[in-house]
Amino acid sequence: MSTRRTVLDVEEYRDELLEHLLAGSGALPGTEEVALVDGLGRVLARDVSSSGDVPAFDNSAMDGYAVRQADVQTLPATLRVVADVPAGSRRDPVLAGGDCVRIMTGAPMPSDADTVVPVELTDGGAETVTITEAPGAGRHVRAAGGDLAAGDVVVPAGTTLTPGHLSAIAAAGAPSVLVRRRPVVAVVTTGDELVAPGGTLRRGQIYESNGTHLVASLIDMGVSTRHVAAVADDVTTFGAALDELADCDLVLLTGGVSVGAFDVSRIALEESGEGVFRHVRMQPGKPQGWGRWRGRTPVLAFPGNPMSTAISFEVFGRPVLDRLLGRQLRPGPDAAVAATGWRSPSGRRQYLPVRLNSDESGRLVATPAHRRGSASHMVTSLAGADALAVVAADVDEVAPGDVVTIRRLG
């Protein structure tokens, strides 16, 4: 069998995956209604609109006194305190000339008042109050509908729900949200050299870490996961493991995708999974593959070195899962200044884990997360990284002070 492969740019391979791996499909069918507290990290399937104005009534933005502006034109002014209106009160006291109401933050404004004087600008009186300084008309009053009008879209469909989104939805009066079904994604790691953490290492063996990274990343994305760890480098065993995952929406493989004689993922997918394998102009993560196991289950195959797996997931796995989840497009890349210099492989786009900080002038600064720069086996690079510095394929060296593109992790 020939080991020659088509060579693609990053975008070419990503577009191939989105078009062919998912058979041109968009988001997975299926939705469910969940309580707000269960919506964190889920993808909204339907716009949430406000059931009414937010706030629902004019209310005070300060602790103080609700007054008529006409009564505080000449200062100091002494007014009669005719009522107290705390937050939650249903009272709407009538104000005649020279009257005011002691009011608390969030309390409804009396219909006859138009301004709130903060208590700090008064003598704090309970029966009468002397006002020594007054704000302009309408100050310190939160208008009804000032945040949202009835019917306004609070959060659009396709949004991945954060605590901030859920708070806004609750304030708009919705007790639950309609969210997309969670994809079921299996993670399969391959290699005779792999041992589960906590096991005993023998000569030639390493602890398996790719599965931990991928499963945690999937959970963080709101995906249901299944983990099949350390499948042996045997085509029959590998095939049996994938057969057990036929009901999954996607299978992520790590390891065995290159051109070696024992690269079981490639061998098995080419035999039974309509396997397509490419070389991508990137570092790390050059060998990549995909297929449809037994003509049905989508399989995305990453190289096995830890850094290669992690960066392949960021560059290719996340877009595929975003498509399945029906998510909105992610924000574009950022930029930062290189704190130190490093080498980059000519002809391949480099993804280097970096830490981000700000210098004295406020510029965003990127420092390589590992003291030795970039290598596909250095899994600890990810532990200290905030982002990936993306270096163009036609650049072979980054100098201190150069501006580099930044792709934030997660």
Mean pLDDT of 105-114: 98
Judged against a pLDDT cut of 80, whether residue 229 lies above it is answered with no
Indicate the pLDDT class of residue 4, thresholds 50, 70 and 90: low
Least confident segment among 107-121, 163-177, 252-266: 252-266
> Can you tell me which residue has the tokens 């990453």?
302
pTM of the shown model? 0.83
Tokens found for residue 338:
């290189």
DSSP 197: T
Strands of 244-347, DSSP E: 250-254, 276-280, 282-283, 287-293, 297-302, 334-338, 342-343
User: Residue 162: what are its φ and ψ, rounded to 5°?
Assistant: -110, 170
Each residue of 154-190: pLDDT tens digit? 999 999 999 999 999 999 999 999 999 999 999 999 8
Equal CATH topology for 6-30+181-325 and 334-408: no
DSSP one-letter code for 105: T
Q: Pairing mode, if any, of strands 297-302 and 287-293?
A: antiparallel
d(CA 356, CA 374): 16
- Is pLDDT of 262 > 90? no
Q: Give the pLDDT confidence score for residue 371 in this predicted structure.
A: 66
Q: For residue 23, name the pLDDT band (cuts at 50, 70, 90).
A: low
- List the beta bridge partners of residue 297: 293
Closest among 26, 25, 21 to 276, alpha carbons compared: 21
Closest listed residue to residue 49, CA positions, set 178, 162, 163: 178
Question: Which CATH superfamily, name and number, covers 6-30+181-325?
Answer: MoaB/Mog-like domain (3.40.980.10)
Of 326, 357, 352, which is closest to residue 409 (Cα–Cα)? Answer: 352
- Secondary structure class of 218 (helix, strand, coil): helix
In 107-165 the beta strands, taken as DSSP E runs, fall at 115-118, 128-131, 141-142, 153-155
Domain ranges of the chain: 6-30+181-325, 38-50+153-180, 59-142, 334-408
User: Would residue 323 be called left, alpha or beta, if left means φ above 0 and alpha means ψ between -120 and 50 degrees?
Assistant: alpha
R_g of the chain computed on alpha carbons? 30
Highest-confidence segment of 42-46, 103-107, 383-387: 103-107
Superfamily of domain 334-408: MoeA, C-terminal, domain IV (2.40.340.10)
In tens, the pLDDT along 269-283 reads: 888 778 899 999 999
Give me the architecture of the 59-142 domain, per CATH. Answer: Beta Complex (2.170)
Name the amino acid, one letter, at 192: D
Q: In the predicted model, is pLDDT for residue 331 greater than 80?
A: no
pLDDT (0 to 100) of residue 208: 86
Sign for the CA dihedral angle at 135, 140, 141, 145 comes to positive
The reported pLDDT for the residue numbered 378 is 60
